[in-house]
Amino acid sequence: MIGGFLAMALNKVEICGVNTSRLPILTNEEKDALFVRIKEGDPEAREQYIKGNLRLVLSVIKRFSSSNENADDLFQIGCVGLIKAIDNFDTTLNVKFSTYAVPMIIGEIRRYLRDNNAIRVSRSLRDVAYKAIYAKENYVKQNLKEPTINEIAEEIGIDKEEIVYALDAIQSPVSLYEPVYTEGGDTLYVMDQISDKKNKEDNWIENIALKEALKKLDDREQHIVTMRFYEGKTQMEVAEEIGISQAQVSRLEKHALKTMRNYLRP
């Protein structure tokens, strides 16, 4: 049923109010120019970039045509993944945006399907959550800052308690080992993009044996390991500080840890 509806939707019909036959197609030059403006905080460029990549969402949700979910719902969830990809994409990674975005979109849909099958959230509750999300997105575009829950409640005319409950109901737990993207056999995971602010001075780094293991690394590897596990920085932060890509940081980090493990083995 959904397969036929989706095929029909891709040819002509509207999904979530979007006429799929009129979706824009951006050239690589247009994408690069828009991303420069996005990084400068241009909300209009961000909107254009989202619209210009909606076909990417449509191509992804075709993979889930065998599910029993409504195409509109899958499209909405896919758009959430697309927006997350746009907001987190780093042009210094030297990968195509689609290479980065597709796993994000797929992951968002898979989490939705997994959690929606485990705990069925009522349609009305999901509608409240989606209204709140869209209201938040529009507020950010217009004001360039995050709205308070009270401002969202005032905008959509729903009690803030109900909004909080609805947003909490659709939240999905994310594994730290959820892949973000893969490049050249090196996979970057969610845990690679999370900083640790609580354990900046873990006792293990002060251990003499580990200090000796650190000495087996070259200067750059020592610097990376120190920033990652002593200062609690993300791979992205390390990459920006030393002027290389996050993928390179990931490779150097893995090699450094392997060297240290080999040294510490009895």
Over the stretch 183-211, which tens digit does the pLDDT of each residue have? 555 666 655 655 554 444 444 344 556 67
Helical segments of 53-192, H only: 54-61, 71-88, 97-118, 123-143, 149-156, 160-169
**Residue 4: per-residue pLDDT:** 38
232 vs 142 pLDDT, higher one? 142
Q: Look at residue 172 in the predicted model and tell me its pLDDT.
A: 56
Which domain covers residue 225, as residue numbers?
Answer: 179-264
Q: How far is CA 165 from the centre of its chain?
A: 23
- Structural contact between residues 188 and 247, judged by C-beta atoms closer than 8 angstroms: yes
Question: Is residue 262 pLDDT above 60, yes or no?
Answer: yes
Whole-structure pTM over 0.85, yes or no?
no
- Where a domain ends, among 120, 145, 163? 120
If DSSP codes are grouped into helix, strand and coil, which group holds residue 6? Answer: helix
Tell me phi and psi for residue 187, to 5 degrees.
Answer: -100, 130
Q: What CATH number should be reported for the domain holding residue 254?
A: 1.10.10.10
Question: What is the 3-class SS of 8-66, one letter each residue?
Answer: HHHHCCEECCEEHHHCCCCCHHHHHHHHHHHHCCCHHHHHHHHHHCHHHHHHHHHHHCC
Q: Is the pLDDT of residue 179 over 70?
A: no
Among 98, 120, 142, the domain boundary falls at 120
- Domain assignment present for 171: no
Compute how many other C-beta atoms are within 10 angstroms of the C-beta atom of residue 29.
8
In a domain, 138, yes or no: no
